[in-house]
Structure 1
């Protein structure tokens, strides 16, 4: 037995990038062969599963050691010396081709995606190891954060039509320009506006369009009217993460958990990055103030988003909750941002005990700026938008955010989050929670 607990000896690194890469790739291939020689997870017995876990542990230790030494060199190779600004998925795919076994291939991820969460091998953990190391390094992390703040290709393609018509229908999200206001409305009615990979992608395109349209001064995000019998005809902001999709294995680390924080939420908070065109003496991101409007409730991820808006307006019977710990996951950046907004004790009660916070209470006013009767919400949004359209708001929010949450603080949090969320996604308690929830819903 090797020193990592299975038939293979971990490489002794330190001979330079090329030699260490070759030795690590060879070691990872042997670990992968151990896994391939055994049945799929759903068919393994206890001894076989233990053997697979030993192989995974050895391989993940090897990946971590290699990246601790060579993350910056690897990133430079993947991005042509940081000349290319690649999104998460493109980086991961290129890394899988450059150093086989470092992260899963596209085919391996597609094979995993068709399995329910309980039967997955957990290959996304290897992606978490890669991106935690890339984000941990100041040089590579800052470049990656900037790359994820560039406009999406989908938004750039839709922009001419949006500028011409003032509207874009992205399926489960619509965007409409009304005067100087860009309204983003979520219509994932089947799931009470719960978020999944598809909704995260659509929201990023929508946020990009609002930020790219020169005629828009203020963005607004609001939930659309529901068809669910309990909330028929009422607007719902968000029911959090889509637990049905998570149970089915269709919520991904990159396209949901990381792309969500590095993509549309960070763009709302910090704006779009853009290349230096050489014309401005001070190149700046494209930023606009944002309003969040909560008609009924903001649960989980919905409550997390409220923490980045410049103004939050809620109906006086609305409420907020953060049930992530009960579900078994980490609530995005709420652990970083909620203590700042509502205080440490309120944050702990919300995160650790799923404490409901009613918008109209003193505690609720720490998470929203104004509560009004539901019938007056439209008027309150319009009044807030008129205030925030003041040109001086953008400069003030920029300097506020730079010192309220420095980008290196954000980056460092995400470096830890990339690994910790992976561990949670493939933990036995999360799978058990999902199974109980799924059974209860079927009943």
Structure 2
């Protein structure tokens, strides 16, 4: 049992639960590192073939970056493997199913996009709202959403930060299936079982080629560039205002500098 994440083995399936329900499973540096270590262990274990990732509670998959932790001077940075230990993990040859049980905001949505399959409860909501708080979707949202649903609808979501319900996510193409909330985990386990019933060597080979396609599309370089741009953005007055306004629960007063 981890401090911020729990895991359970069910045969060849690993069920992982982000476990900070008091902050809607928002992630901070210690949680990123804990998740990264968990995915390292998952990758190295020959008896685990597929994982299911979900969030604790019935409200949220993950609220994304823990801005209150950041605003209060919380220390630490994400690991080399990125947000949730997944956004910059380029060599995992085992599939992960995201069972999105509630809202997936910002980095929470980016975490789901970093998985191979997204199943969503009919109560789920998705958004990349970073622009509303002086940030941008630097944890792979810009890259993955635009590649998974096409540039035009992705850009509209990224530049407005609007919420997308599960049914629209299915129509756009980033959600594989929409389920009643009480059926979500059953379906996720069923799908994980379907994957675990086929050749694990074939699944790994498929993932290896998909990972190579990401290399051909310069995903790694683009994500590293996102980190550079985010570092520059953090020096602006708008960044400071956005985070402060979020914590103070007021409308930001943008300066454009």
Distance in 2 separating the partners of 1:321 and 1:262: 17
Larger radius of gyration between Structure 1 and Structure 2? 1
Distance in 2 separating the partners of 1:373 and 1:381: 12
Distance in 1 separating the partners of 2:103 and 2:16: 17
- Alpha-carbon spacing, 1:251–1:299, altered in 2? closer, same or farther (3 Å): farther
Distance in 2 separating the partners of 1:421 and 1:381: 34
Counterpart for residue 132 of structure 2: 326
Residue 259 of structure 1: how far off its partner (Å): 4.7
Does 2:220 match 1:388?
no
Could you say what secondary structure the match of 2:36 adopts? helix
What whole-Å deviation, never above 9, does each CA across 1:342-391 have from its counterpart, x for those lacking one?
11121111111012111112655511101110111122112210222222
Residue 317 of structure 1: how far off its partner (Å): 2.0
- Alpha-carbon spacing, 1:257–1:354, altered in 2? closer, same or farther (3 Å): farther
Residue 170 of structure 1: how far off its partner (Å): 1.3
Gaps of 5+ in 2: 251-257
Could you say what secondary structure the match of 1:314 adopts? strand
Does 2:251 match 1:430?
no
- Alpha-carbon spacing, 1:208–1:415, altered in 2? closer, same or farther (3 Å): closer
Counterpart for residue 264 of structure 1: 86
Distance in 2 separating the partners of 1:411 and 1:343: 19
Counterpart for residue 344 of structure 1: 151
Residue among 302, 305, 328 paired with 2:108: 302
Distance in 1 separating the partners of 2:218 and 2:209: 15
Counterpart for residue 219 of structure 1: 51
Could you say what secondary structure the match of 1:183 adopts? strand
TM-score (structure 1 length as normaliser):
0.52
Residue among 76, 96, 118 paired with 1:312: 118
Does 2:207 match 1:402?
no
Contact 1:289 1:310 survives alignment (8 Å): yes
Residue 333 of structure 1: how far off its partner (Å): 1.4
Counterpart for residue 248 of structure 2: 439
Could you say what secondary structure the match of 1:406 adopts? helix
Contact 1:186 1:222 survives alignment (8 Å): yes
Could you say what secondary structure the match of 1:293 adopts? strand
Contact 2:5 2:18 survives alignment (8 Å): yes
Could you say what secondary structure the match of 2:87 adopts? helix
Could you say what secondary structure the match of 1:360 adopts? helix
Does 2:71 match 1:247?
yes
Contact 2:100 2:120 survives alignment (8 Å): yes
Residue 258 of structure 1: how far off its partner (Å): 5.3
Residue among 169, 172, 175 paired with 2:4: 172
Residue 199 of structure 1: how far off its partner (Å): 0.9
Gaps of 5+ in 1: 1-168, 226-233, 272-286
Counterpart for residue 379 of structure 1: 186
TM-score (structure 2 length as normaliser):
0.88
- Alpha-carbon spacing, 1:429–1:369, altered in 2? closer, same or farther (3 Å): same
Counterpart for residue 14 of structure 2: 182
Counterpart for residue 255 of structure 2: none
Distance in 2 separating the partners of 1:183 and 1:251: 29
Higher relative contact order (CA 8 A, sep 6+): 2
- Alpha-carbon spacing, 1:200–1:307, altered in 2? closer, same or farther (3 Å): same
Q: Which is helix-richer, 1 or 2? A: 1
Does 2:7 match 1:192?
no
Counterpart for residue 61 of structure 2: 237
Contact 2:79 2:85 survives alignment (8 Å): no
Aligned residues: 246
